[in-house]
Amino acid sequence: MSVRIAVSGAAGRMGRRTIELAMADPEVRVVAAVESRGHPWVGKHLADVARVAGSEVCVGDRLSPEDRVQVIVDFSTPEGAVERARDAANLGAALVTGTTGLSAEQLDELGEISGRIPMLRAANFSIGVNMLLKLAREAAEALGEAFEVEIVEVHHHGKADAPSGTALAIAEAVAEARGRSLEKNAVYGRKGRVGPRKPAEIGIHAVRMGDVVGEHTVYFAAAGERLMLGHVAASRDAFASGALRAAKWICGKPAGTYSMSDVLKS
């Protein structure tokens, strides 16, 4: 039986592609699509605004109990992610969200709601990126303090937040592996007479240009050598298919906070 999903942020790049892939996946069924109030897509049929056919779903600005949603897949805004989490709690649904750029207060509220529903948060749903996270953590621990760490991410010129959630996740993995506080040791770009690089720094740099889907590179550098771990996303299918895989996995799970590593382990 197919998992009944709602896609939040339906008009965005990720929302549209998730809907398109879901429509071709017999294991899921798109029963609702949501956008912010006043968005020009609200009230329009999915077939009129996305490359889909065979669906009677219209884009709305709220979710209804009549939709019988089992999992909400969210690629919206920080405010939208919190609102969808509240919806999930009210509807008894699970939440899978890839929205980044949330404030500490918003993260706290999501944490509280995850005590009532199954919730999976991921900065990136790509299988390759999640392997990069694992390798970066292992390299940071194995190479030790002799190797300095710099992270560079590249995205399209329309990306709203910087650095990317994925770059921050990589930096956090490195910091944890070395027993450091990312908040105290992160350096976001450099300008002016900053002086010599401090040994514990974790450099994080954001590049915005063209239509780049997503590129992440982690550099480990010591005297005389440099190790580079990287991932390049050629299309958003890597993210959308991963989100659908997560939605199918989390359906029916107990309340709690989950990650893509939980999905990959299974």
The distance of Cα 218 from the centroid of its chain, to the nearest Å, equals 18
Q: Are 83 and 34 in contact (CB under 8 A)?
A: no
User: Six-digit token pair at 239?
Assistant: 């993210």
Residue 56 to residue 156: CA distance in whole angstroms: 32
Give the type of residue at 8.
S
Q: How many helices (H) and strands (E) does the chain have?
A: 9, 12
Which position among 44, 45, 134, 155 bears the catalytic label?
Answer: 155
DSSP symbol at 125: -
What per-residue string of b and e applies to 61-83 under the rule 16 or more CB within 10 Å gives b? eebeeebebbbbbbbbbbebbbb
Place of tokens 């292992």: 138
Which position among 159, 216, 231, 248 bears the catalytic label?
Answer: 159
User: Six-digit token pair at 230?
Assistant: 């990287």
Assess whether 159 carries a catalytic annotation: yes
- Interhelix angle 127-143/165-177, rounded to 10 degrees, is 30
Burial class (CB in 10 A: 0-12, 13-18, 19+), 39: middle
Assess whether 231 carries a catalytic annotation: no
Query: Following CA atoms 219, 221, 226, 231 in sequence, which dihedral angle do they give, to the nearest 10 degrees?
Result: -10
Residue 206 to residue 20: CA distance in whole angstroms: 29
Residue 143 to residue 45: CA distance in whole angstroms: 53
SS3 state at 31 = strand
Catalytic residue numbers? 155, 159
